[in-house]
Amino acid sequence: MRLLESGKRVGCEVVGPNRTVRWWFEPGQNGAEVEVFMGADIHRYHVSGPEATASVAPGWLGWIKSLLGIGSRNPAASGSENDAAPA
C-alpha cells in the first residue's frame, strides 16, 4: 500500500498479484473514485457514503497518514484531541 497525491486529491494504491486498486478522495466530496487495473483492463467506479464527509472529522488526514506509516504514529499528534484514544 502506498500514499497517492495528485492536485487536491489524495488516495492510496494497493498492489496485489492479480490487480492493482487505487482509491482517490477529494476534499468536499462524499465518496471515492476507485480504479481497478487487471492486466490491460481498467475498471472505474464511484462509491459514496452517508451525508457527512470525512473532511468534517478533525485530524482525519493525519490519522490516515499514521496508518500508512507517514509522519507520527500518534493520532493525537495530528492536532486534534478528538482523535486520541479514550483513556
In this structure, are 42 and 63 located in the same domain? no
pLDDT band for position 67 (cuts 50, 70, 90)? confident
DSSP 8-state symbol, 26: -
Judge whether 21 and 36 are in contact, CB under 8 Å.
yes
pLDDT band for position 83 (cuts 50, 70, 90)? very low
Domain count, the chain: 2
Note down the domain range covering 62: 57-87
In this structure, are 14 and 39 located in the same domain? yes
pLDDT band for position 36 (cuts 50, 70, 90)? very high
- Average predicted confidence (pLDDT) for the chain: 78
Does the pLDDT of residue 25 top 60, yes or no? yes
pLDDT of residue 80: 44
pLDDT of residue 84: 46
* φ/ψ of residue 5, rounded to 5: -140, 130
Q: Which residues of 15-46 are buried (b: 16+ CB within 10 A; e: fewer)?
A: eeeeeebbbbbbeebeebbeeeeeeeeeeeee
